[in-house]
A and B are shown apart, each in its own frame.
Chain A
Amino acid sequence: MTATLTRRETLAAGFGSVLLPATLSAQPVAKPAEFKIGVTTFLSGPASVFGVPSRRACEMLAEQINAAGGIAGVPIRPIFVDEGPGTDHLVGEIRRLVQSEGVHAIFQSISSGSCLACTPLSRELNKVMLLWDCGTQRIFEEARYDYAFRTQGYATPEVLAPLLYLLRKKPDIRTVAVLNQDYAWGRDSWEIWQAAIGALKPGTRVVAEMFPRFGSTDFSTEITRLLALRPDVVFSSSWGGELVTFIRQATERRLHERTTFVLPVAEASLQILGRNMPEGHVIGARGDHWNNHPSPANPALFNGFVNAYRQKFNEFPIYPCHHMAQAVWALKAALEKAVAAKNGAWPSDAELAAAFRGLTFPTPTSTITLREDGQGLEDQIVGLSSFDPRFPFAVPKEMMRYSAAQVSAPAGQKSTDWLKTLTPAMIQSAGTAL
C-alpha cells in the first residue's frame, strides 16, 4: 500500500515545516529546576594533575552558589566527563551530554586538541560552550562561533608576557634553547616564542630545539646537552610531572646556575617542587591569579576562594582551579544579565549566548572581558621565582602585570602575523610593575 498526499495536505505540511520552528522559538522558555553544566576535564592520564583540582574547584563553587540560592534562583549541577580517552570519545560524550543528559551549557576542555575537535559542535548543538582552560590560539583566529567563548587568556599572551619580562630583566641575552613537550601546546608555544623574539630581539640564536616525547620521565640527556651548550635562556612550556622532573634533575646538576629558565606554566608545579625550585627564574601562571597577588581587585573574594579551597583540599588552588572558577563566574554574570534583559523570564540558548558577547565579568583579581570574537581578555602577571615565608613553595617577586589588550593579538588577526609586527620598543612600554 502506498500513501499519497493531497495538494491541501502537501501545502499544510510545507507551511508547518516553515512556521513551526519559528513558533516554537517564540515560546517562552520554562525556568529549569536545575541548570546542568557538562564539564569536560582530564580525570585520567598525566593531565589529571590539572583536571582533578579543577573538578574539585567546580564542585566547591557549585556547592557555594547553590547554598546561596543558585544563579537567578536556579541551582547548578556540574556533570563531569573525562577528556583522557581522546577527542573521538569526547565528541560523542558532548553530544550525549546535550541530547541525553539535557545539559544547558558546556565547560570545555583542558587540551587544545579537545577544544579544536569539540568547539565546532557548539554550532550543531546550539548550546553555550565556555572554553575554560585550553590555550590554542587557533580557535577564534580561524573560525567564528556564536555559542563558544573563552573565559580566560590564551597561548599568545601567556608566552609573550614572560618573553617581554625576560627581555626587560635580561636585555643582553644572545642564545636560547627550548625543551618542550612534543604535542600541540609544546610546538605552538615555541612557534609563538620564535615569532615574538624574532621581532623583539632580532639576532637571538637558537642553539637547541628539543621536544622529548609527551610523558617522558627522564631528561638527563637533554640536561647534559644544555650544560654543554650553556644557552643564556632555556624556554620550557612543559607542565605537570615532566616540568617537576626537569627542574629537579636540572637543579641537581646545577643547570640553573648556567642559564635562566623561562617557564610560562610553572605556577601549577611550584607546590610540588617546594624548595627544589631555584630562585631568580621567570615564572608565569597563565593569568594573574598568583597566591601572593599583592593587590587583588576583590581581596575578600580572592582570599575567600583560596582559603575555602585550602581548607577543603589541604593545598593551594593552582591555575586550572582559577580558570574553572572564571567559567563559573562568567556563567553567573551572563545568566543574570540574560534573565534581567527578559525582566526575570528565563532566556533561550540563543539569548544566553548573546549575553556572553562583550560581557565583562569580575574575578577576584581583576575583570575579564569577552571580546567580540569570543576570546577572553585576561591580564598576565609574571615574576622571578623567590621564597616568601608565607608559602612553603616558590612565588614570584618583582612582579609585572601585562594587560590583556597589550599582549593579545587584535580580533581578526592571526597571532603569528601580529607578533611579527611587534617592535623592540614594546619591551619597555608594555607592562606595569606591581
Chain B
Amino acid sequence: MAEWFQDNGLLLGLALLDGLSSAGLIFLVAVGLNLVFGVLRIVNVAHGSLYAIGAYSAASIGLFLTSLGLPAWASIPTLILSAALVGAILGPLIERFILRRIYAGEEVVQLLVTFALFMILEDVQKLVWGVQPIHHDAAMRWLGTIDVPFGTDFIPFTNYQLFVLPGFAVITLAGLAWFLRSTLTGRVIVAVTTDREAATAMGIDAAKIFLLTFTFGAMLAALGGALSSPTAALVPGVGAQIIVLSFAVVATAGLGQIEGAALTSLMMGMGRSIAVYFEPELEVVVPYIIMVLVLLVRPQGLFGVIETRRV
C-alpha cells in the first residue's frame, strides 16, 4: 500500500484537485434539487433544463456584453446575474402554472409532467439558441492559469477551475446553512420540509413557501449552469447529463440534507476523478457505485433521518 502511494501519490494529488471543481458544480445543481424535493416532494426532472437555460443565458448575455466592449472581469458578475434572472423568471412561472396543479396528484403524474416540461424546454433551447455549440469563456481566460508542481514537472490548472467553482460551492453551502438556520424564512422552509402538515396547521402559508423554495432551487440550478458555461461548449442535451448525477447525489445524501449533498458531491467528484487516473472505464459508474453502497447501509441516505409512518 505504502509502495502504491509512493508511486502514485502525486497522481492522486492531481486527481483530488480535479475532483474539487467537479464536486463544486455537482453540488450547486444537486443542492437546488434537494431543496425542491425536500419541500415540494416533487421529483423535478426539469431541474436539468433550468441548468441548461442558465448556462445558455449566461453565455448569450456574456457574448452580448463582450460585443459592447465590456471588460472581461465583468463576465463573472454576469454569470451570477443571469442565473438569478433565469430563476426569477422561470421559477415562479413553472411553480405557479404547472407544479401547483399537480401537488395533490400521484407521484407518477408528477414525474410525467416534469419530464414533459423537460422535453418542452429542450426544444425551446433549440429554438432560441440553435443546435451549434455555443461558448463564452471570457471569465476563465481572464482569470488565467496557475502552475501546480508535479515532481520535476508542473501542471497548469485554470484558476477558474481550481478556485472559482469550489469557492462558489463553499459560499453557497455556508450561505444556505445560515439562511435555513438563522432566518425566519429559512426556519419556515425547514419546518415544511420536516413536517408539512404540522407546519401548515400552525399557520405557515405553504403555497408561498413552495413558490419561494422552487424559485430559489431554480436559481441554484441556473447558477450551476451559468458557472459551467465558461468551461463547456453548450449543445442540446447538456441538461440531461447533470440531472441524472444530481438525482444520485440527492438519493445518497438524504432528503433535504444540505451538508449531506456537499459531502456526497465531494465523494462523487473525487471518485470520478480518481477513476479517470487509475481505472478510466469505471468513471461513469463510480457515482452510482457510491450511491448503491451508501443506500445498502443507510437506505435513508447518508444524512437522512428515518421518517415515521403517519396513519
Contact = CB atoms under 8 A, between A and B. Distances in A.
B18 A45 contact: no
B276 A221 contact: yes
B258 to A, nearest CB: 24
A401 to B, nearest CB: 28
B167 interface: no
A273 to B, nearest CB: 9
Nearest to B22: A218
A240 B235 CA distance: 8
Interface in A264-282: 269, 272
A244 B241 CA distance: 17
Q: Chain B CB within 10 Å — which of A46, A51, A241 has the most?
A: A241
Nearest to A217: B232
Contacts of B153: 228, 230
Interface string A37-57: 000000011101101100000
Given A44-B236, A218-B231, A220-B161, A244 B135 contact: yes
A209 B280 contact: yes
Contacts of A208: 280
A9 interface: no
B156 interface: yes
Contact of B14 (A224, A240, A244): A224
Interface residues of A, number: 39
Contacts of B126: 44, 48
B237 interface: yes
Contacts of B238: 215, 217, 241
Contacts of A315: 132
Contacts of B240: 215
B150 interface: yes
A284 to B, nearest CB: 19
Contacts of A242: 233
Q: Chain A CB within 10 Å — which of B11, B135, B145 has the most?
A: B135
A169 B259 CA distance: 54
A142 interface: no
Contacts of B106: none
Nearest to A45: B237
B137 A248 contact: yes
Contact of A244 (B11, B15, B133, B155): B133
Contacts of A252: 137, 140-141, 145, 158
B45 interface: no
A177 to B, nearest CB: 11
B241 A215 contact: yes
A268 B154 CA distance: 33
Interface in B10-33: 10-11, 14-15, 17-19, 21-22, 25
Contacts of A46: 235-237
A220 B18 contact: yes
B46 interface: no
Interface string A206-229: 001111110111101110110110
A168 interface: no
Contacts of A213: 283-284
A249 interface: yes
A254 interface: yes
A242 to B, nearest CB: 8
Contacts of B21: 220
Given A44-B126, A244-B135, A272 B161 contact: no
Contacts of B17: 224
A245 interface: yes
Interface in B267-297: 272-273, 276-277, 280-281, 283-284
A253 interface: yes
B110 interface: no
Q: Chain A CB within 10 Å — which of B153, B158, B280 has the most?
A: B280
B276 A248 contact: no
Contact of B276 (A44, A51, A182, A222): A222
Contacts of B130: 52
A241 B233 contact: yes
Q: Chain B CB within 10 Å — which of A46, A52, A217 has the most?
A: A217
B235 A241 contact: yes
Interface of B: 10-11, 14-15, 17-19, 21-22, 25, 122-123, 126, 130-133, 135, 137, 140-141, 145, 150, 153, 155-158, 161, 228, 231-238, 240-242, 272-273, 276-277, 280-281, 283-284
Given A208-B280, A224-B14, A228-B14, 19 more contacts: A45-B237, A46-B237, A49-B133, A52-B131, A213-B283, A215-B238, A217-B228, A217-B242, A218-B22, A221-B273, A225-B276, A227-B155, A227-B156, A242-B233, A252-B158, A253-B158, A269-B133, A272-B135, A315-B132
27 contacts: A45-B236, A48-B131, A209-B280, A213-B284, A215-B237, A217-B233, A218-B22, A218-B228, A218-B231, A220-B18, A220-B231, A221-B15, A221-B19, A221-B276, A222-B276, A224-B18, A225-B276, A227-B155, A228-B10, A248-B135, A249-B158, A252-B158, A253-B156, A254-B145, A254-B156, A269-B133, A272-B132
The 6 A-B pairs of least Cβ separation, nearest first, read: A241-B235, A244-B233, A221-B18, A217-B232, A48-B131, A241-B233
